[in-house]
Amino acid sequence: MENPVDPSPIQSIDDATVRAAASGARAARRNLYEQTSHRVFRLMVRMVGRQDAEDLTQQTFVQAFGKLSQFDGKAKFETWLYRLATNEALQHLRREKHRRTKELLVEPTIQPADRLEQSERAVIVRQALEAIDPELRAIFTLKEESGLSYQEISLALGIPEGTVGSRLNRARRELRKLIDTPQ
């Protein structure tokens, strides 16, 4: 995995924007969407695959805008949104109950050797992520891709911080075992 954490930090959403969006202000809703949608989409790609990520990202925002009045401000807006997104992804995975077909690599003659090796490594990591339990995948993705702290993940998923740590360690062990196992 190259650099899983986005180097451009997201500006925290202020309470006034959330309140305005909850009251139906379109500009505030657009602002929330523009500031957070790329991160929700990236989480969805890791959780459910690229094919369903866009639809589930949109569904997450439909739910978020419908439930904004329930946002109590105890956690950051982004943490609350990640919780909605993770729940949406886990529900989707439960409904589907099937494995995604694996992507084929591009013909080796088309890519330089180092790009091919990097591409193969990315496929191995993606396949390993798809193979682990969805809840472990969620924790790993929220930590490594989205850069959330244990406390933020705890709030987003509604589990104790200690559980976040132990599940994150388990996810890393399982990924390491899957990646290191010869195909």
Domains, the chain: 15-99+108-180 (1.10.1740.10)
Residue 28 CA, distance from chain mean position: 23
Higher pLDDT pick, 98 / 40: 40
- Distance CA(129)–CA(152), nearest Å, equals 21
Cβ distance 85 to 99 under 8 Å? Answer: no
What is the rounded CA–CA span in Å between residue 74 and residue 82?
Answer: 14
Query: Which residue, 118, 133, 138, 123, is CA-closest to 46?
Result: 138
Calculate Rg over the CA atoms of the chain. Answer: 18
Kindly report, residue by residue over 66-101, the tens digit of the pLDDT.
999 888 888 889 999 999 999 999 889 888 754 443
* φ and ψ of 48, to 5 deg: -125, -10
Supply the pTM of this predicted model.
0.65
141: three-class secondary structure by DSSP: helix
Instruction: Note the pLDDT of residue 106.
Output: 45
According to the model, what pLDDT value does residue 38 have? 94
Specify the pLDDT at position 124. Answer: 82
Average pLDDT over residues 101-122: 56
Burial of 158: CB neighbours in 10 Å, binned 0-12, 13-18, 19+: exposed
pLDDT, residue 146, reads 82
Q: Which amino acid, 24?
A: G
